[in-house]
Each structure stands twice: as structure tokens, then as C-alpha cells.
């Protein structure tokens, strides 16, 4: 049998594991329940993929992120590892076929959403499914005290009864000690082995800047820090405004949010990943599963409401271990508004009932119906038609989701479906008279087996490639065939979706736990207080402040955050003196040089003093340091 290193080399081509990966893998091989806290970019997927490949059977992977499921399945398939995913919006027949294949041992990895585990049909297939490992990604979602609680996670533990003796691996990038304990308890872990990689990032410099003119400051930062950048924004409108502003300044940029179509999101993401676009301005919909190691800068144009979210997003910079920067811009008024808006995040029970009643009226859902049904849902259109406050409405929907009443998804991809609804002879007569349609009808018949018997998924892009026609032409042909009664064409959906988790009841009969809502509000306030403390802090090293929040003690000062630099700056002016500064300036050139080369020309000066003067000159913008650490004269 191959050992972990052999598996890593064979399928991924890596010679060695990253820190903690091998320890986590060995824990799973030994059959132990395991909790792994690995920061963003720490290689979490390897931790379950390697041990699963060492055993017969399949690994059941639970994750809430459809895009991440698809990405990981595609990456595994590229390596000739059989993998599949089941996610919201798939057709019943496809799910049935896939589950039957999984039970027969066709796959090594099956990715599912936490909601899927509650399906009676799924549970029927679990009986006899050869599962060797249960991997839970984004495990912090199981905790009501975490920043991203999802009620479906609470039901994951129940599935353990179908797979006795199978270990559980819970994975997350950020969790406080309280959330870690909650994860272990909710997943029924027995004497769990817990592995935590240090939350400190030695190559990442954190800064917080109070700034009245954010657009100018953002441009200034981008001019000083070369390389790929992410700018996180609170709302969709701002992403577009920032991207447009940067383009006008000659900085290549695009924007990304969940309101774009899947094709638009994919295209913009690819442009940025391939460094054809330097800056991507985005909401928090962007980032999960994105593997771009050379991001030099992450700017938060708006403060987040949780340190966990900020740490994950900022941590997308410098995953190649080279110098990178995380900058948060804020205005005091914005912080005050965040605190004031907390009440809107937790509306009163009557307000929640009002939103629910408006929702079922908007969707025209009858009492006793709609369980498991997906509806296209445009929240902006909804609040406009019913004259609702959008913040209260979104918060009420989130609470209804947490109470297990409905599910709200930014987007659910449902491929197009086509079925011929005429006989083959009638089709022959039709194409004989309408020859322009023969290429598309013949291609449908050759490409999609069973298209005469049942609705089958078809892909307009694939048809466009085969016929060498633009995709809009393909869509037009299919629509015309539908209108003429030749086929039934259900065009793909990528709109936001809302699904009722239980049958619709009257608003007054809604079961809402006011006590839990109050507890979640208190937990939210604690997270918001911690975020405010981070933003307003001017005394404690930012790395120390972050890692303490996650329960890590005795971490040294980073020396590179804005707080550490400010501490060193004041004594530097008195200590260093003009003599060292002038000597150093004389040795610096306009072309960047390695620091040790410059240092070797000034061996008579104590290195610590020289470093302090260098840092002072950088702060005064008389000298600079590039992304590779080389120094130069400005």
C-alpha cells in the first residue's frame, strides 16, 4: 500500500507536505476524529484527499459552497481521481443516478451540501454506501456562536450512525476556542485530535488607516504596492464604482459580486487569476477556493463586522510566503453606523412575521405547499414591491434560514433541458421543409442520448463549439424550435434562489425561537466589539491582537504592522541621526538591490541601527522596498 508521501507525489506531484498536513493525515489514518484549523491557503483539501485515497471506499465531503465543490471535483477528475458533487438545483434523475453510482463504488469523493444530508432519499442511499471518511469543510458553520452559522450543519452528526467507526475530519480556517469546542460537541467527536497552525503570518503586514478621501488613498496604496490586488467592498454598487474609477486612472480593474451571471463571474475571475487584470473589486462573494498565491495586496474599503471574516479575506494576500500587505480603510462615521445598524440585523418577531407574509404573497405560495420547491428570488424587486427595509428584510430571511424554515442561495446553476415532443417522422418532415434547423436538431440527436425520451441537460456552449456558431445563435434556434412545438426547451437558471425547507404555514404559526435570536445577537455584538477594538487599536501589535482572538498566546510582535512601525518610528529620529541616514542614502540606487548587498557596503554601522534608519527612510518616502524585499532610492 502506498504511504501518504507516495500518494502526494503520485497525484499532486509534490515532494513534501506543508506544516501539519502529515500530522492531520496520520491522525485520520489512525481512525481518530480530528479538528484541523488551517488558515486560508493552508492546504485543507489535501488533508482529507490523501487519506481517503489510501483506503477502499469513498470520502463524503460536506461543504456549503457550490463553486468550491465544482472546482475541487474538476481538479480531482483532472488527476484521474473519480469524484462527483450533488448540489441544489440538480434534477432528480441526475441525483438518483449519481447516488446509485456512489453506492456501487464508482467514486472516491462525493461532495454534498449540508442540506442534502437531511434528504430522506439521500439517507436511503447511505445504507450500504462505502464511506471511509466524513470530511466537514467550513466547520465553523455548525456553531451558533460563530460568524457564519448555518442550521443545516447541526444535522450532520446524525449521519454518523450510518457509518459506524468512520472518522470525522472537521476543517476551518478560523475559529475561536469557544467555536472549536462547539464544533467538537456538535459533531459528536470523541477525544478529538485538534491541530492548529499558527494564525500569525510573518510575511503579511497589517495596517488600519482612518481616511476621509478613500478613493485617493486607495490609488496611492496601489501606486506604492505593485502586483495583484483585491479590494473588498460592502456592497455591489461600490465594487463597480471602484473598478470604474481605477480604470480611469490607468489601473486595470474589474468588479465581481453574486449578482453577475455565472459566465460573467467566471470570465472576470479568470482575467484576474491570469494577471490580465491587476485589481478585482468585489464583495465577500469572491475568494472561496481561489488559488492565486501571488496576491500582494488586500484592501478592505469597508470594515467587516467580524474578525474571522476579516482574517480570512486579508489572508488571501501573500500565500506564496512573499511580502504582502493587508490594509483596512475606515471612517469613524461608518463604524458608528455599523453599531447603530445592529438592531436592524436582529428584527423583532412581528417584523419577521411581516417579511414572511410578504414573501409568500410575493411568490404566491399556498398554505401547505412549497416544501423543497425552488423559486427565482430578486430581493431588490421584493422589497420595492412591498415597501420593505432591505436590511431588515435580509436579516429576517437570514433568521428564517437559521430557524430551518427556508434556504436562501445567491445563485443555483440549473443547466438547460431539452426534450423532443414530436415523433422522429414529424421531425424528418419538419427539417425537410425547414433546412436551416437541420444542423441544430441533428447535433442534439447525436450529442445527447435519450433526448427523444426524457428531458436531458444540454449545454449551449458545447453546441456552439460543435456547430461553430456564436452561443446567442444557438439559444435563438432552441427558442424557435420550442415556439414551433418541436422541442421543450427549459433555459438554464442562474438567478438567486429561495427554497422552503418546510411546507408553508400561516405567518402566525411560524415557530421562531426568540431566546436563540437574543443569544445570537449577543454573540454578534461580541464579534462586532472585537472588530471595533482591532480597528481603533493603536497600542498592540495587530498580529498579536488577531491571534489572541483565536486563542493563540505568546506570539511575538510582528514588527511590520502599522502599530509596530509607529512604535519604532519616534525613537528612531533621535537615535539614528542624520549621519547614518546620509550614508545609507549615498549607497542606495534608483534600481532595487538586495538588502544584504547594500548592508555589505556599510559594515561599519551596527545592523540594527541600519535597519531602523532604512525603515525610517521608507516611512518618510525617501526610500522604498519592492515586493521581493529589494531596496531603492525614491
Starting at the earlier edge strand, list the strands of the sheet with 193-196: 83-86, 109-112, 58-62, 131-136, 168-172, 34-37, 193-196
pLDDT for 577 equals: 65
Q: Minimal CA–CA distance to 547: which of 201, 171, 288, 180? A: 201
Least confident of 269-273, 545-549, 618-622: 618-622
pLDDT for 66 equals: 76
What digits encode the pLDDT tens for the residues 400-443?
988 889 988 755 566 788 999 999 899 999 988 999 999 999 99
Work out the burial of residue 92: count CB atoms within 10 Å of its CB; fewer than 13 is exposed, 13-18 middle, 19 or more buried.
exposed
Cell numbers that stand for 242 in this block: 471602484
Question: Are residues 5 and 16 in contact, defined by beta-carbon separation less than 8 angstroms?
Answer: yes
What digits encode the pLDDT tens for the residues 346-375?
999 999 999 999 999 999 999 998 887 888
Cell 488527476 belongs to which residue?
79
Mean pLDDT of 22-31: 95
Cell numbers that stand for 220 in this block: 496611492
Count of CB atoms situated within 10 Å of the CB of 518: 11
| 369-394 burial code (b ≥16 CB/10 A, e <16) | ebeeebbebebeebbeeeebeeebbb
Taking the C-alpha atoms of residue 206 and residue 223, their distance in angstroms, rounded to an integer, is: 18
Taking the C-alpha atoms of residue 320 and residue 324, their distance in angstroms, rounded to an integer, is: 9
pLDDT for 568 equals: 74
> Quick one: pLDDT band at residue 291, thresholds 50, 70, 90?
confident
Give me the residues paired with residue 136 across strands.
Answer: 62, 170
Least confident of 44-48, 388-392, 409-413: 409-413
Cell 461600490 belongs to which residue?
238
> Quick one: pLDDT band at residue 627, thresholds 50, 70, 90?
low
What digits encode the pLDDT tens for the residues 493-519?
666 778 888 899 999 999 899 998 998
Instruction: Give the global pTM.
Output: 0.77
Question: Are residues 226 and 627 in contact, defined by beta-carbon separation less than 8 angstroms?
Answer: yes
Cell numbers that stand for 231 in this block: 479590494
Q: Minimal CA–CA distance to 124: which of 83, 88, 151, 95? A: 95
What digits encode the pLDDT tens for the residues 570-615?
555 555 567 888 888 888 888 888 888 888 888 888 777 788 788 7
- Helix ranges (H only) for 316-436 are 332-340, 342-345, 349-363, 379-386, 390-402, 424-433
Give me the residues paired with residue 517 across strands.
Answer: none
> Quick one: pLDDT band at residue 89, thresholds 50, 70, 90?
low
Cell 446567442 belongs to which residue?
472
What digits encode the pLDDT tens for the residues 207-232?
999 999 999 999 999 999 999 999 99
Mean pLDDT of 157-174: 93
Amino acid at each position: 500500500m502506498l504511504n501518504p508521501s507516495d500518494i502526494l507525489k503520485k497525484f499532486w506531484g509534490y515532494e513534501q507536505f506543508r506544516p501539519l498536513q502529515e500530522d492531520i493525515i496520520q491522525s485520520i489514518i489512525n481512525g481518530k476524529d480530528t479538528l484541523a484549523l488551517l488558515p486560508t491557503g493552508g492546504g485543507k483539501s489535501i488533508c482529507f484527499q490523501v487519506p481517503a485515497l489510501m483506503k477502499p471506499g469513498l470520502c463524503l465531503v460536506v461543504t456549503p459552497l457550490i463553486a468550491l465543490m465544482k472546482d475541487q471535483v474538476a481538479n480531482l477528475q483532472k488527476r484521474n481521481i473519480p469524484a462527483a458533487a450533488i448540489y441544489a438545483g440538480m434534477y432528480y434523475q441526475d441525483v438518483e443516478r449519481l447516488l446509485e453510482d456512489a453506492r456501487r463504488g464508482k467514486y472516491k469523493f462525493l461532495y454534498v451540501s449540508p442540506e442534502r444530508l437531511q434528504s430522506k432519499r439521500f439517507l436511503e442511499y447511505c445504507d450500504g454506501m462505502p464511506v471511509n471518511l466524513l470530511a466537514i469543510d467550513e466547520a465553523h458553520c455548525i456553531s451558533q456562536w460563530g460568524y457564519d452559522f448555518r442550521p443545516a450543519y447541526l444535522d450532520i452528526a446524525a449521519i454518523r450512525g450510518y457509518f459506524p467507526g468512520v472518522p470525522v475530519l472537521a476543517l476551518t480556517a478560523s475559529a475561536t476556542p469557544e467555536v472549536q469546542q462547539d464544533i467538537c460537541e456538535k459533531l459528536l467527536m470523541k477525544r478529538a485530535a485538534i491541530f492548529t497552525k499558527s494564525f500569525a503570518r510573518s510575511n503579511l503586514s497589517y495596517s488600519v488607516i482612518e481616511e476621509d478621501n478613500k478613493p485617493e488613498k486607495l490609488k496611492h496604496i496601489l501606486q506604492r504596492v505593485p502586483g495583484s490586488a483585491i479590494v473588498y467592498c460592502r456592497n455591489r454598487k461600490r465594487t463597480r464604482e471602484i473598478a470604474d474609477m481605477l480604470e480611469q486612472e490607468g489601473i486595470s480593474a474589474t468588479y465581481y459580486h453574486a449578482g453577475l451571471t455565472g459566465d460573467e463571474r467566471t470570465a472576470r475571475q479568470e482575467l484576474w487569476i491570469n494577471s490580465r487584470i491587476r485589481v478585482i473589486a468585489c464583495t465577500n462573494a469572491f475568494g472561496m477556493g481561489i488559488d492565486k498565491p501571488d496576491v500582494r495586496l488586500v484592501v478592505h474599503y469597508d470594515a467587516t463586522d467580524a474578525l474571522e471574516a476579516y482574517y480570512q479575506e486579508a489572508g488571501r494576500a501573500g500565500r506564496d510566503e512573499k511580502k504582502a500587505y493587508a490594509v483596512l480603510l475606515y471612517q469613524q462615521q461608518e463604524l458608528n453606523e455599523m453599531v447603530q445598524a445592529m438592531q436592524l440585523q436582529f428584527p423583532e418577531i412581528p417584523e419577521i412575521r411581516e417579511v414572511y407574509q410578504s414573501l409568500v404573497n410575493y411568490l404566491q405560495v399556498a398554505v401547505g405547499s412549497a416544501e423543497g420547491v425552488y423559486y427565482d428570488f430578486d430581493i431588490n424587486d421584493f422589497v420595492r414591491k412591498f415597501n420593505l427595509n432591505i436590511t431588515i428584510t435580509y436579516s429576517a430571511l437570514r433568521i428564517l434560514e437559521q430557524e430551518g424554515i427556508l434556504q436562501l442561495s445567491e445563485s443555483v446553476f440549473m443547466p438547460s433541458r431539452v426534450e423532443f415532443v414530436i415523433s422522429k417522422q414529424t421531425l424528418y418532415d419538419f427539417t425537410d421543409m425547414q433546412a436551416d434547423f437541420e444542423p441544430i436538431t441533428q447535433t442534439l440527436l447525436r450529442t445527447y442520448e435519450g433526448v427523444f425520451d426524457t428531458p436531458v441537460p444540454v449545454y449551449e456552449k458545447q453546441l456552439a463549439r460543435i456547430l461553430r456558431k456564436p452561443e446567442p445563435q444557438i439559444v435563438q434556434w432552441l427558442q424557435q424550435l420550442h415556439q414551433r412545438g418541436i422541442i421543450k426547451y427549459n433555459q438554464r437558471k442562474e438567478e438567486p434562489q429561495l427554497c422552503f425547507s418546510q411546507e408553508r404555514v400561516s405567518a402566525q404559526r411560524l415557530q421562531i425561537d426568540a431566546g436563540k435570536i437574543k443569544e445570537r445577537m449577543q454573540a454578534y455584538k461580541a464579534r462586532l466589539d472585537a472588530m471595533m477594538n482591532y480597528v481603533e487599536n493603536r497600542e498592540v501589535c495587530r498580529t498579536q491582537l488577531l491571534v489572541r482572538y483565536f486563542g493563540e498566546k505568546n506570539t511575538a510582535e510582528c514588527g511590520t504592522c502599522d502599530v509596530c512601525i509607529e512604535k519604532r518610528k519616534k525613537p528612531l529620529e533621535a537615535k539614528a541621526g542624520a549621519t547614518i541616514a546620509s550614508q545609507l542614502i549615498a549607497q542606495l540606487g534608483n534600481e532595487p538591490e538586495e538588502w544584504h548587498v547594500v548592508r555589505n557596503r556599510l559594515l561599519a554601522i551596527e545592523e540594527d541601527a541600519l535597519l531602523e534608519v532604512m525603515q525610517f527612510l521608507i516611512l518618510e518616502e525617501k526610500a522604498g522596498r519592492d515586493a521581493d524585499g529589494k531596496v531603492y532610492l525614491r
